[in-house]
Amino acid sequence: MATARSWINRCLTPKVGLPVKIIFAASTLCWLAVLGLWVGLSYGGVVPNMFLPTPGAVFDAAVRLTNDGTLAKHVGASLEVVLIGFAISSLVAVPLGLLMGSFRIVQAFLEPLVNFIRYLPVTSFVPLFILWIGIGLEQRVAVIIFGTFFQQLVMIADVSKGVSKDLVNASYTLGATRRDVVFHVLGPASLPGVLDTLRVTMGWAWTYLVVAELVAASSGLGYISLKAMRGFQVDVIFLAIAIIGLLGLITDQLFRLLRLRIAAWAQ
């Protein structure tokens, strides 16, 4: 009894670490609760099947689309769009964001425009991208870039601005040049925050995927969701949503592992 009470107190205490078993049990319990609610609402007839399919119906849809090769084709198309768009956005946003956060003149030049553009709705630009770029992979990649780039820029600039000025001054005292400070002090000190920013914005890239593929697309998870909606195939829609969530979870964990590997000193 005393042991159980001590574990409860530990779980309810802020900033206290917990054993892996406790964390795994809590995560499993959450998933079981969600699955149980879904099973109860769908199989219990509380919500009609045309609005909420059963887990079995979604599984059957996954098997059907996997066997005919449709699912792999659309998952591959969505992965291509997200990874290309996110990579291009990150390759530009990371160095530019570090410059914005490190040099006041760069911040003064870019910040007003960036803060204006990042509040514009991505969906309103989809028709323009179709007119400017056309229909195809390029248009979908442009949506991902537009949806993530300006957010990355602001967040990475904040990471760079958060580097302690004492660290910079100490490097000058030790004889470092301005170039040394940028590449050997500000860059490494910002690395953990940059990786956290990329991890967060990768989630936004998956969110904008559906926007990119709902209009003028012939493949992808967003496309099959729209096609399924027209045929009242709610099981396929749930399947597409579940796959997007699963892919997002995988990329999130990959960024966690990457941070542990190359910025373990920041843990």
Q: Where are the domains of the chain?
A: 2-43, 55-266
**In the numeric block, which tokens belong to residue 75?**
């998952």
The amino acid sitting at 138 is E
Question: 35 burial class (0-12, 13-18, 19+ CB within 10 angstroms)?
Answer: exposed
Question: 48 burial class (0-12, 13-18, 19+ CB within 10 angstroms)?
Answer: exposed
CATH architecture type of domain 55-266: Orthogonal Bundle (1.10)
d(C-alpha 99, C-alpha 106), whole Å = 7
User: In which region does residue 15 sit, left (phi positive, over 0), alpha (psi from -120 to 50) or beta (all else)?
Assistant: left
d(C-alpha 90, C-alpha 145), whole Å = 9
Number of Cβ atoms within 10 Å of the Cβ of 230 = 7
pLDDT digit of tens for each residue in the chain (267 aa)? Answer: 557 677 777 777 787 777 888 888 888 999 999 999 999 988 888 888 888 899 999 999 999 999 988 889 999 999 999 999 999 999 999 999 999 988 889 999 999 999 899 888 888 888 888 888 888 888 899 999 999 999 999 999 999 888 888 888 888 888 878 888 888 888 888 889 999 999 999 999 998 888 888 776 778 888 888 888 888 889 999 999 999 999 999 999 999 999 888 877 766
CA 131 to chain centre: 27
* Stated pTM of the model: 0.88
The amino acid sitting at 89 is S
